[in-house]
Structures are given as C-alpha cells and as structure tokens.
Amino acid sequence: MSFDCDLFVIGGGSGGVRAARIAAGHGARVQLAEEYRMGGTCVIRGCVPKKLMVFAAGHGAAMEEARAYGWEMGAPHFDWRAFRARLDAELSRLEGIYTRNAEAAGVILHNQRARLVDPHGVQLADGSEISARHVLIATGGRPSVPEGFDLPGVMTSNELFLLDDLPPSILIIGGGFIACEFACIMQGMGVAVTQFYRGAQILRGFDDDLRHHVAAAMAAQGIDLQVDTDLVSLEPLGGGRFAATDTRGARREFDAVLFATGRAPNTAGLGLEKAGVALSENGAVRVDEWSQTNVPSVFAVGDVTDRIQLTPVAIREGHAFADTVFGGRRGRADHELVASAVFTRPEAGSVGMTEEEARAQEAVEVYRTSFRPMQGAFADSDIKALMKLVVARDSRRVLGCHIVAPGAGEMIQLAAVALKMGATKEDFDATMAVHPTMAEELVLMRQPVPEN
C-alpha cells in the first residue's frame, strides 16, 4: 500500500518534534500538525515561561539580601507588564527555533488540528486527508478543573501566563509541584498568596522530609498554606474576583483563583476510539514499552501516555521511537531513576526512592542534615537547606537523594548520574568535598540518623 508519508505526528511539543526530526534524519517522509503553537506545553505555557517567572520572582528577595551585603538601593518594584512583554518575545523566539529546526530536518508542518480517521488516516481541520504508514500521538496534557468550579474567570496555569496585570491577592488550589511553584512565584512578585490543599501535606509522592521542609519554607516566606483544607464553593464577584468558602467554614474574598489540581491527557476529539486505539480510564493512550498502542501503526509519547509527565522523558521517548521504527536501532526510554526538580523557593530536587518507599522494600540507613546556607545566614535568613541520602543497609547502594536548597535542581542532576551508576555510600564518602558549598554536605554526612 502506498502512503502519503511514512510518519504523521499529531502534536508539536517536545516529544513530537524530537520524534519528527529524528525520523526525518533517518530518511522518513514526515509530516506534523500542531493546532496552537510549536513548542507545546513546555515551551509555550509550561517549563520555560514558568522558570523565567521563577527567576523574576527571586530577584525581589535577592535585592533584600543584597542590602545585608552592603548594597544600597531604592525600594524594589516589580513591573509585570514589562516582564511579560519580554517573556512573550522570548517564547516567540523559541517557537521560531522549534519551527525552523523541524523544517530544516525536512518535516512538513501543518498549523491546524488533526485527528485520526482510521489506523493510517489523518484528517486535518481544513478537511484534507493524509495517509501515513505510522502515526504518532504527542498531544500532551491539559490542566483540569474539578467539576462545578469551571467558572468564567477561574484560571489554570495556561491563563496565568497571559495576565494583563498581577492580582493583589490569589487563591491557589492544589498541592502538587505546579501549585507550589506558582505560589512561590506569585508571592515573590508581591501577590498575597493563599494555598489550599486537601491532603495532609503538599508534594504527594516526594520524600516526607522534603515535603515538610518545603512547606515550612513556603510558610516562612508569607504564603498562607492551608493543608487538610478544600474548597467548598466559589461565588463570582466580578472582575475576576471570587468569594471562596472552604471546608473549615471560612469565607474569604480573593482577586484571582488558580486551580492547579492536576492535568488530563489531551486525547478528546482525536478520533482515537474510532481508530481502535485503547485508552485508560483517565483518557491516557495505552502503550507498551516501545510506545506502541494496541493498533500496530499508532504510537504515542509524552504526557498523553501518562507515564512520567516530564519534558526530558517525552523527548527520550520520541527519540527512542524514531530510532526503533525508522533507524533500525531498537531502543526504549529508560523510566528508572528519573530525577525531578520543584522550583519553589528554595528549590527541591529528588531522584530515586523516598525513605518510605525504600523502607517498604528493604532495611535502610538514612543520612540527613539541615543547615542555614552561608549566603543566607550572613543576611540573617532563617531558611534552611536539607540534604538527605537513603542507603540500602546491605548493598550500601544509595537508593535516593533528596535536596531542598537554592540550586537544588542543578545539584540533583549530578546526583542522578551517581545513582544511575549504582554509587554506594562509600563512593560518596570517598569523594572530596568542594568547599565552601552547600553540595559538599552530600559527601560529608558520616553518621546515619538514629532509628526511632
């Protein structure tokens, strides 16, 4: 059977673009459709703009700290509109790079929505149809709002990047990394932040010591963090303002409300069911270890599969798919020991098992230290850093590393290399410290925490 192309990719985010470029480099005829903007969630409304907002939010505290180091300056003032104009320009620049790189690789781009009509057929929004030997679904995820609260004026992370002005106050619902990051961002930009989370502690799935440490730091910065608290009702007051009633019976008014209560796989309206592609209960595309669905010609990578929702994972999955199907090199993305960072203030970094996970598996030793970093201590800051290693008692292998500190995201990347190589506690101990740094504590912890 003759096909119009060898690969049709639906979705122009990190995973889809990487797969398209690598497949084209292997000689495949590739087409790609993206209905919004090239770059997807990460580049346009996720990791990149969020991290730039993290940088912006941190400069206020840095200026305050600078006074302790002898710098004299006027009262700081954050100009959101000036920042957002520069942010928009940067995102447009990055979008252009994504587009040019794909086209330079020989990928034909369609700036419109696409959906499956059968296992090999794709229909574009303009009605034209394209046949493909293989189809890759790389449509990512979307923010979800609980039923009953999807009211006009309620925001998700998508809308937060598009604000004309910062609100004086904001209520953030959620306790995951997105909720916590935006709580720190907004607070750092001068917004009064209240955060509700229905669970006992934020950052579910992370190590308990890390979770408590981050929560304490957020509260110390002035974020009104209320755990074991959920939203009961929202009353629109006009102009984006709402009156919120919580499970404790309190009613308060806020200038904005942001839901960061999870993300859903972006599979609605893609024709997947019609093509026979199996979906999970939450709408995620079911795939095997090779990113292949139950329909042999259809594959999926990235957040739409709901495996690990991180950009580098999507990129690895897309690359492995292209190498396997078009490059003659069978390969799978390795989902073990994937490091992650939470860009709160201070940052949190984690790789490997939590203490709780490790203890459920085998006997472990825990090495932990908490201290005031030199830079902040000089400026009389009470914010502490946390360094923690979880070690298998018998094999001595380091099973988990958890850090809360300025630059934790940078540190955890390097720690992940050591854990991936199977480093033992004695390997850490044998490594010479770099002094004076925060990271040196990772190789200086000698005694395990006493068992309770």
CA atoms in the 13 A half-sphere facing the CB of 145: 17
Residue 348's pLDDT is 98
Phi and psi, residue 383, nearest 5°: -70, 130
Tokens 């990394």 belong to which residue? 177
Residue 54's pLDDT is 97
d(CA 430, CA 386): 21
Residue 75's pLDDT is 82
Buried b vs exposed e over 362-393: b needs ≥16 C-beta within 10 Å?
Answer: eebbbbbeeeebeebeeeebebbbbbbbbbbe
Same fold, 5-143+264-326 and 157-261: yes
Cβ atoms of 95 and 103 closer than 8 Å: no
Q: Tens digit of pLDDT for each residue in 207-253?
A: 999 999 999 999 999 999 999 999 999 999 988 899 999 999 999 99
Q: Is the peptide bond before 296 cis (omega within 30 degrees of 0)?
A: no
Q: Which superfamily does CATH assign the domain made up of 340-443 to?
A: FAD/NAD-linked reductase, C-terminal dimerisation domain (3.30.390.30)
Residue 209's pLDDT is 98
SS3 280: coil
CATH of region 5-143+264-326, choose from 3.50.50.60, 3.30.499.10, 3.40.50.300, 2.40.110.10: 3.50.50.60
Q: Where are the domains of the chain?
A: 5-143+264-326, 157-261, 340-443
Residue type, 43: V
d(CA 112, CA 225): 41
Residue 6's pLDDT is 98
Which pTM was predicted? 0.95
At 384, list the tokens. 């502490």
Q: End-to-end distance of the chain based on CA atoms, in angstroms?
A: 68
Q: Is the dihedral of CA 354, 360, 364, 368 positive or negative?
A: positive
pLDDT-flagged residues of the chain (< 70)? none
Residue 240's pLDDT is 86
Burial (CB count within 10 angstroms: exposed 0-12, middle 13-18, buried 19+), residue 341: buried
Task: Tell me which of 59, 120, 402, 435 is the catalytic residue.
Answer: 435
- Report residue 180 CA to chain centroid gap: 11
Q: What is the DSSP letter of 296?
A: T
The CATH classification number of 157-261 equals 3.50.50.60
Whether 435 sits among the annotated catalytic residues: the reply is yes
